[in-house]
Structure formats: structure tokens, C-alpha cells
Amino acid sequence: MTKPPTINNTSTAAEVDPRKSALAHWVSQNTPVEQHPIELVSLGSDAGFRRYFRYQTPSQWLAVDAPPATEDSTQFIAIAHFMEQQGVRSPRITAADTTQGFLLIEDFGDRLFFRALTNQNADELYQQAMNSLLKLHRSRDDSALIPRYDRALLRRELELFSEWFAGKLLGHPLNASEQKLLNELFIQLEDKALAQPQTFVHRDYHSRNLMLLDDGALGVIDFQGALWGGVTYDLVSLLRDCYLRWPVAQVTIWALDYRQQAITAGIIPTVSEDDFLRWFDWLGLQRHIKVLGIFARLSLRDGKNGYLNDLPLVIRYTLEVADQYAELRPFADWFKHTLLPLAQQQAWYRDYQTAGSQTAGDE
């Protein structure tokens, strides 16, 4: 009789982390017997509730704990296959139990786009990232698979700012006039998002969700929330990254280069540079207002306090764009006079006007 495999679970007691224990058992059932014992080594979690564990086999795979109550593994698998069909590298999936929320996926390694970027290689790496984005933007709509980034969803995201950033993190519940100001702003942002060409939206296409693989390809992760929405959404996520910043002039060059490539590929109609940058700015503002709420919620609700350190850079992006357009200045003025003094009292705050300047080249 073959001896049952030994499972080396890094948890000191199964009852402390029953899902990890169950995942280790499931992995043992989906890994060749000769590769045991299995040791699961935590790689931490992401902004959601997924946890990742590495273990060694002839080729490396990641064991993923994606609790069904909060994570949709079926959608993850479907979007991974969809992206692969577009010629974009998403992790291969070797086994899945969507009922339990357990997956075995390809391990893309540790070379994050975020860590690999330098002033010397930035042009090359961002072109590689935009090439993958072009492939996704050329994909055909599949409404049965990809939900709409519609007005209702855009509004729910924007309201995270009101509830979690202004109300709960800064302790400033909105009065009636402030609610009116924000409602008028949100309508404008929603209108601009819906008016531009609609394409596949990864929804979190940035330097911490892109991997440089051993074969030179670019791997894309954390895509399960994909939607069908504004064409500039992922581009602004990439170029006005919430975790690092590039000089304004460089971002403009990259954005307009993408515009030309998208026109050539037939993804967007011939649009002026000014109109394209307006799409880029306004949808980016929607994203950054939302992110202020999301990062506050990640800290207050989920105990992920590290995201607070990234708030000053997001505030910088928010106010730079809002100050640039006459229609948006009432919001910028209100933010600077009402919310900014409250933010300055917080332990995480640092001068937003210089936030991110040292992460990827000075302004």
C-alpha cells in the first residue's frame, strides 16, 4: 500500500487556520504523490480576501485560498481563459474547486513590474505593458462573461469616497450642500466615462499586478474584477499608478503614444490629443476618487493599514486633475479647504504636493 502523503502545513495548529489546513489537504490530493511532502509557504494576500501559498513541485504552482463568500473563482477562471485567448499571459490553472474556493495556478515568480522599473528601462517596460493592453482592448465584447461598467457601478464606486474617506477616515459626514456638490461632480465623471469608447477593463492594471516572466513575457494577475468600460481606464491605472509616480511630461508622452497605437489598431476613432487626454484625465479622476475610499476601507474594515501610506499620492493625482479643469475646480477648492486640513491631522499624511516624486524619477 502506498503511504499517504505527509502535509507540512506552516500553521502551528489546524484549528487556528482551518481554511489553510483544508487547502493543504486539497493540494495533496491534486499533486503527484511522489512530490510529497508538501509545504505551503504564505505569500500574503491582496487587496481582496485571496491568500497565496507557494509550494515546490517540478514546476512551481501557487495554491490559492479564495473564500467563496467574497471571491468569485468561477469568474477568475473564465477571465483567465479569456485573456489567454487574446494573447495575454494570465496564470495557467491546473486544478480548481470553486465550491471550496481553492485553486492551483501558475507561479509567475517574484519579479514584479513595480520592482523592476528604472529610469533606464521604463520606456521599454511601459511599451510592453501597453502592448498587452492593446491586445485586451482589441478583444470582442462578451456580455455574458464581462459585466458592464455602467452608471450605477460607477456611482457605487464614487460613493466609497463619501462614506469611507470623508466620513469614516476623516470624520467628516457630508452636509446637504456638500452632497449636492459631489453629486454634480459624480454625474460629470459618469458621463465622461460612458461617452468614451468602451473596451475590456482589467480594472487594476498597474505595477503591482504585472509580472516580468523568465521568458521575457509580461504576466498579468488580479484580473477577476474585469468589466466592459471606458478605454482609458486601464491606461490611467498604469501611468498614474497609485504606488509610484512618473513626471507629468513623461506620462503625457506615453498616453499619447497609446492613443496613436489605439487609433492605428482601430480600437478608437481618430480623436484629437486634447480630447484623448480629457478622457484620460476625467476617468482617472473617477478612479482616484474611488481609490481614496477603497484604501480607507481596506484600513478601517479589513485591517490593511499599509494602504494609508499611499493616500497622499492619490490625493496628489486627484487635485492635480481637478485643478486643471474649470468644471472641476469647485470640488478641488472644497477638498483643499475642508478635507485637506483633516487629512493633515492623520498619522499617514505627508505633503501631497511632493508625494511619489522620489519613486520613479523627479518631476
How far is it, in rounded angstroms, from Cα 230 to Cα 282? 11
How far is it, in rounded angstroms, from Cα 131 to Cα 87? 10
For domain 113-354, give its CATH number from 3.40.50.300, 3.10.290.10, 3.40.50.1980, 3.90.1200.10.
3.90.1200.10
The set of cell numbers assigned to 293 is 475610499
How far is it, in rounded angstroms, from Cα 346 to Cα 341? 9
Q: Which position has the higher pLDDT, 165 or 45?
A: 165
The model carries a pTM of 0.90
pLDDT for residue 45? 58
- Examine the pLDDT at 113 and tell me if it is beyond 80: yes
How far is it, in rounded angstroms, from Cα 63 to Cα 100? 13
Q: Which CATH topology does 7-106 take? A: Phosphorylase Kinase; domain 1 (3.30.200)
Q: Could you tell me where in the chain the CATH 3.90.1200.10 domains are found? A: 113-354
The set of cell numbers assigned to 226 is 474585469
Average confidence score pLDDT of the chain: 90
pLDDT in tens, 132-141: 999 999 999 9
The set of cell numbers assigned to 197 is 469608447
If one counts every other C-beta atom within 10 angstroms of the C-beta of residue 213, the result is: 13
Q: Could you tell me where in the chain the CATH 3.30.200.20 domains are found? A: 7-106
- Examine the pLDDT at 2 and tell me if it is beyond 60: no
Concatenate the DSSP letters of all residues of 154-171 into one string: HHHHHHHIIIIIIIIIS-
pLDDT for residue 287? 98
The set of cell numbers assigned to 198 is 468602451
Q: Give the confidence band of 357 by pLDDT, cuts at 50, 70, 90.
A: confident
How far is it, in rounded angstroms, from Cα 165 to Cα 172? 9
E strands in the chain:
7-9, 38-45, 51-55, 61-65, 93-97, 102-106, 198-201, 210-212, 218-220, 227-230
How far is it, in rounded angstroms, from Cα 62 to Cα 42? 10
The set of cell numbers assigned to 334 is 472644497
Amino acid at 268: I
pLDDT in tens, 214-231: 899 999 999 999 999 999
Residues 6+ apart with CB under 8 A from 360: 117, 119, 122, 244, 245, 246
